[in-house]
Amino acid sequence: MNAAAMAPSATGRQTVEVLSFIDPSRTIGSIETARTCTTMADSLSDPATWLEHYGDALYRYALGRLRDPSRAEDAVQDALLAALQARDSFRGGSTEQTWLTGILRHKILDQLRAQGRAAERETDTADEDELERLHFAGTGSWQQPAGRWNDPEGALGEQQFFINLEHCIEELPERLGQAFMLKEFDGLAGAEIGQTLGVTSNNVWVMLSRARMRIRNCLEHTWFGRATR
């Protein structure tokens, strides 16, 4: 393993000197690399290069949470504009990409919060959910149990399985999907998700349970087939 020291260049690319990990005073080589590397940065690169280097990653982040391409594009633009305004406050200690993603995350949480206040909340956590009604009898016991899955471990090795999984997540109703993304992709706790979406932690847990039930069901239909019970 090597430690690396960075020397920013005017071109937005930089020369990274590869230092020996054992003896940091010894240079064992140097490589030229784009600014997208994950080494800590002391200063920001030219804002004109941000879009080129991080645009796709920021867009994916926004799309996963907002679930709407045009809103995700707007969020990326807002975040980059805000970053431009705030660039003097960058203190280093994190990568440029982490810093930009942090700004984007704040923009997205603001949007979701505004939407959460306006949203119809009853539908998220109504006592009965259509899929729950399908699975369970009135007594709470299974009437349509989960099917047997053939070789789930094997599925983890197939790229198509993950494409299916993404589709299943995309098909979640909007707010269930937002709760699910904030939990599983951002690692937020129930209370934080609740604050963002304008519901209680308890409601968040119900929403997550319904989201997982839907994804499970979707995978069963699109990947594992309706196997025997």
> Is residue 122 exposed (0-12), middle (13-18) or buried (19+ Cβ within 10 Å)?
exposed
Which tokens in the block code for residue 222? 């699109």
Helix (H) or strand (E) holding 215: helix 201-219
- Mark residues 64-103: x for contact with another protein by CB under 8 A, - for none: x----x---x--xx--xx--xx------------------
- To another protein, the closest distance from the beta carbon of 207 in angstroms equals 10
From 7-15, 26-34, 112-120, 157-165, give the range in contact with another protein by CB under 8 A: 157-165
Q: Select from 24, 29, 93, 152 the one that contacts another protein (CB under 8 A).
A: 152
Task: Write the CB contacts of 20 (distance below 8 Å, at least 6 apart in sequence).
Answer: 2, 3, 26, 27, 28
Question: What is the total count of residues that contact another protein (CB under 8 A)?
Answer: 52
Task: Write the CB contacts of 69 (distance below 8 Å, at least 6 apart in sequence).
Answer: 63
Q: Are 34 and 13 in contact (CB under 8 A)?
A: yes
CA atoms within 13 A on the CB side of 23: 4
Q: Select from 67, 161, 173, 192 the one that contacts another protein (CB under 8 A).
A: 161
- To another protein, the closest distance from the beta carbon of 160 in angstroms equals 13
Residue 90 vs 149, nearer CB to another protein: 149
Which 105-144 residues touch another protein, going by CB under 8 A? 132, 135-136, 139-142
Which has the closest alpha carbon to 83: 65, 64, 67, 103? 103
- Interface ranges with another protein (CB under 8 A): 47-48, 50-51, 55-57, 59-60, 63-64, 69, 73, 76-77, 80-81, 84-85, 132, 135-136, 139-142, 145-146, 148-149, 152, 155-156, 161-162, 165-166, 183-185, 190, 201, 204-206, 208-209, 212-213, 215-216, 219
